[in-house]
Homo-oligomer: A and B are copies of this chain.
């Protein structure tokens, strides 16, 4: 069933008008008709089953047939990552980690980072599209550029993926299903940043025997963390 997104849907909604964009998609792209069924999610765990009652390219109306409220996931998958210079690469990473199951994403500002700004609305749109695609009912929280030193102070304990030599553990052996995973920028975290994180209680992790690009490391961390969560 096609999913539409509207944060305004609540447990008491009976009749509803889809947003402009969702109406356009349902009618002009998917060619839906009166009587067709559609799901509506609010990003807070609610899934409404609805039936289309009035066709309109900008104001498609539906009647709600049933409401299901899901419990929040019993894990947290928080990926904190420095945005790549190439926008496509970080876009792809964000889309993939959300499809896979990320619950929080924070963009990191680091000494070796090249990006000084991020368009948060762009990533919220990617997040909405990704949860609809993967049929997840909770919209991940996305936080804009945050200094990595501030981040590790705010979230003591976690996992840091970096390229510096030294003892590292495989993420799947130690991920607790709660604490954040830091992914280094192109050019890696600086020694100072790594030391600060370790002092705050972070553990150095490895994700692969190969040298991974930033966005590959982000996706890899997401897949491995979710595999750990599912198996516990």
Interface residues in chain A, defined as those with a beta carbon under 8 Å from any beta carbon in chain B: 88, 92, 96, 99-101, 133-136, 170, 172, 208-213, 216, 219-220, 223-224, 226-227, 230-231
Q: Which residues of B contact A172 (CB under 8 A)?
A: 227, 231
Q: Contacts A219-B223, A223-B223, A224-B223 given: A210-B88 contact, CB under 8 Å?
A: no
Task: Count this chain's copies in the assembly.
Answer: 2
**B96 near A219: Cβ-Cβ < 8 Å:** yes
A227 to B216, CA, bound (A): 14
**A213 near B170: Cβ-Cβ < 8 Å:** no
Q: Contacts A92-B92, A135-B210, A211-B133 given: A216-B170 contact, CB under 8 Å?
A: no
Kindly report which residue of chain B lies nearest to residue A209, judged by CB atoms: B230
Kindly report which residue of chain B lies nearest to residue A96, judged by CB atoms: B216
- Interface SS, A side: helix
Q: Which residues of B contact A135 (CB under 8 A)?
A: 210-211
Cross-interface CB contact of A136 among B210, B213, B216, cutoff 8 Å: B210
A126 to B132, CA, bound (A): 30
Kindly report which residue of chain B lies nearest to residue A89, judged by CB atoms: B92
A92 to B216, CA, bound (A): 10
Q: Which residues of B contact A211 (CB under 8 A)?
A: 133-135
**B224 near A227: Cβ-Cβ < 8 Å:** yes
Q: Which residues of B contact A213 (CB under 8 A)?
A: 99, 133
**B226 near A208: Cβ-Cβ < 8 Å:** yes
Ranked nearest first, the 10 interchain pairs of A and B with the lowest CB-CB distance are A134-B210, A223-B223, A135-B211, A99-B216, A220-B223, A134-B211, A92-B92, A96-B216, A99-B212, A219-B219
Q: Which residues of B contact A170 (CB under 8 A)?
A: 227, 230-231
Q: Which residues of B contact A226 (CB under 8 A)?
A: 208
Cross-interface CB contact of A134 among B92, B212, B224, B230, cutoff 8 Å: B212
**B100 near A208: Cβ-Cβ < 8 Å:** yes
Residue picked from A212, A227, A231, most chain B C-beta under 10 Å:
A227
**B101 near A210: Cβ-Cβ < 8 Å:** yes
**B224 near A100: Cβ-Cβ < 8 Å:** no
**A99 near B227: Cβ-Cβ < 8 Å:** no
Q: Which residues of B contact A134 (CB under 8 A)?
A: 210-212
Kindly report which residue of chain B lies nearest to residue A217, judged by CB atoms: B99
